Chain A
Amino acid sequence: MTPLLEVDDLHVSFATPRGAVRAVQGVSLSLEQGTTLGIVGESGSGKTVLSRAIMGLLPRHSATQTGSVRYQGNEILNAPNDELRQLWGTHIAMVFQDPMTSLNPVLRIGRQITETLRIHLDLTKSEAKETALSLLMQVGIPSPVERFNAYPGQLSGGMRQRVMIAIALACAPNLLMADEPTTGLDVTVQAQILDLLSTLQHERQMAMILVTHDLGVVATRADEIIVMYAGNVVERAPTNVLFTQMSMPYTEALLGSMPRISYPSHTRLLSIDGRPPDLLSPPAGCPFAPRCPYAQGKCHREKPTLVEGAVPGHSYACWFPLPIREKAATS
């Protein structure tokens, strides 16, 4: 059976006045119907660019994309907009990262939901309104009838995020791309929204790509996790394997910077020292080398490629992965 989504060696670069920004450098992944893939990485690691490239939403004039993206076996990378429009909203939908800027500020909430229902599902005005109200209810918006006529500016961030989920789910897509659906929300709202997504996903047998910078978010919700660093996949594994066999120092560092529920909200997280490399001229060796506590000479010279780990489905890009280092330490 062909997977729902297959991405092969996807590269994305942006033409900028200072040169080409290589935001995604050879990402491959695949996703089955009904499963969840977590994509984790620091800010700027290319998560948003990757998910938009998969959907075909990047601006054509500035973004160059190579490789392959197949949806239900059909190649969609660089497909014409008219073709992609057949998928957008109905097959693949996206929850955007920033609820404050992703809803149209001059249109009422209701309109923004019913619009797709009327166009894609051919519902009448009153049918669409009924469906929209029930969607608003499903995503946990209190008094949906009043919210239906509200403008985005009259709702809190959490409410707007729920509205975006309602919009994305309106036409029952097969694949939901959730790009950090909980950034900027407080911890309880975060958990509510993530649980809501999981519930709806199971009800609808929907596949989901859950993008986040927080390993904790995907720990309990994803079937498989991909760790991204500076446009590269540096480690990937089924979720339980990743947490038991973590091999790449960057993944370890990410885990160290994970927010804990026990912290009062808004405490500054322990972040990883140093900054990610410049995507205009990526270093020759391992992109993480300048910040890696285990880096050695080879790391600065040669770029490690993804290699299979001991457990099937686990791969990592590192010359000195954790298990080997541990062995070296004990012997």
Chain B
Amino acid sequence: MGRYIAKRVVLLIIIIFFVSVASFFLVHLLPGNPVDTILGPNATPANTLIVNHELGLDKPLWEQYFIWISHVFQGNLGQSYTTHQTTSNIIGQSFPIDVELIIGSQLLAFAVAFPMAMSASRRPNGLFDQVANSTTFGMLALPPFVIAPVLVLLFAVHWHVFPGPASYVPLTQNLWTNLHAILLPSIVLAMGSIVVYFRLLRNDLIATLQEDFITMARSKGLTDRRIMWRHALRPSSVSLLASAGVTIGSLIAGTFVVELLLQMPGLGYQLIFSVNQDDYTVVQGITLVVAVAIVLINFLFDFLFTVVDPRIARE
């Protein structure tokens, strides 16, 4: 176990290094030139040269990388050329939105998928299983960018069950308003996860419940409830966990469809906005933060795997 973790940590540091290099250089491949954005109509060749020098853009790329990364280590991600907000400030405001949406949607997805899968797997092809299967199968045909506008229109705009666009306020400002605003996008995002989690867990539970060790558990006189919770659930959740890891990673800066619809400036929203503005300092900062966050989440899930199934740490 200790060795497993130590290996992962070393790997983690190496990956984060490569990720930082990639965030830096890939952004430099983007079309568009920040100097043009800054100078606007004043872009004479002489002015361009001066600004290029001020920004250090005339230095070799590798030197620029080291300047950038040493600033990053000091907590300085630079500032926006257009709004002059610091990048850390922008991220500080938008990252919590992603975190809240991810936590909200995943909690909802688990809260629905687990009981559903447990009930369905008790009687495979029973009535409940068939209903649950066909419902989730139908939901597969409705990707978030289709469901999101419909639900927003119905529940927020028409029926006012949920607050409409641009009503997000930070958690610290008003807890209730914040939670209310986060609920609808969380539901929208949860729907895709419910389908996947339900199907994975149901299939794995059905397979696990046929294992010898479950018959053995029955022969010990344990209740069905205990067998489900203690004996079947954990060995059946590995693929669900793997999928949750990928889903959560993809939701960081990946929730811009609902963010756009509900005008909630999360990371994805900010990223697209900054790309459009050729605001590459911000783009670089967000890319780095997102990439590091995804790497850290993978690391966390690698650890969770070993908690759920100790066989994994031994392999």
Residues in chain A within 8 A of chain B (CB atoms): 52, 55, 57, 81, 85-90, 93-94, 96, 98, 101-107, 115-116, 119-120, 151, 153-154, 164, 167
Contacts and interface: CB of A to CB of B under 8 A. Distances in A.
B215 A57 contact: yes
Interface in B211-230: 211-213, 215-224, 226, 230
Interface in B262-315: 308-311, 314
Nearest to A52: B215
A102 B216 contact: yes
5 contacts: A55-B219, A57-B219, A90-B221, A106-B309, A106-B311
Interface string B220-245: 11111010001100110000000000
Given A105-B235, A107-B230, A151 B310 contact: yes
A189 to B, nearest CB: 20
Contacts of B235: 104-106
Given A153-B311, A153-B314, A103 B220 contact: no
Given A104-B235, A107-B230, A167 B213 contact: no
A159 B174 CA distance: 59
A88 B213 contact: no
Contacts of B220: 88-89, 93, 115-116, 167
Nearest to B235: A106
Interface of B: 211-213, 215-224, 226, 230-231, 234-235, 308-311, 314
A154 B224 CA distance: 27
A45 B74 CA distance: 74
A102 B212 contact: yes
Nearest to A177: B219
Contacts of B217: 104
A308 to B, nearest CB: 35
B235 to A, nearest CB: 5
A55 B221 CA distance: 11
A151 B311 contact: yes
Given A151-B310, A151-B311, A153-B311, A103 B216 contact: yes
Contacts of B213: 101-105
Contacts of B211: 101
A85 B219 contact: no
B230 A93 contact: no
Given A85-B222, A93-B220, A102-B213, 19 more contacts: A57-B215, A88-B218, A88-B220, A88-B221, A89-B219, A96-B215, A96-B216, A101-B211, A104-B231, A105-B213, A106-B309, A107-B230, A115-B230, A119-B222, A120-B221, A151-B311, A153-B314, A154-B314, A167-B220
B258 to A, nearest CB: 36
A170 to B, nearest CB: 8
Nearest to B219: A94
A38 to B, nearest CB: 20
Contacts of A104: 213, 216-217, 231, 235
A133 to B, nearest CB: 18
A85 B216 CA distance: 13
Contacts of B231: 104, 107
B41 to A, nearest CB: 67
A106 B221 contact: no
A106 B224 CA distance: 18
A119 B311 CA distance: 27
Contacts of A90: 221
A154 B215 CA distance: 22
A223 to B, nearest CB: 24
A52 B214 CA distance: 13
Contacts of A102: 212-213, 215-216
A60 to B, nearest CB: 11
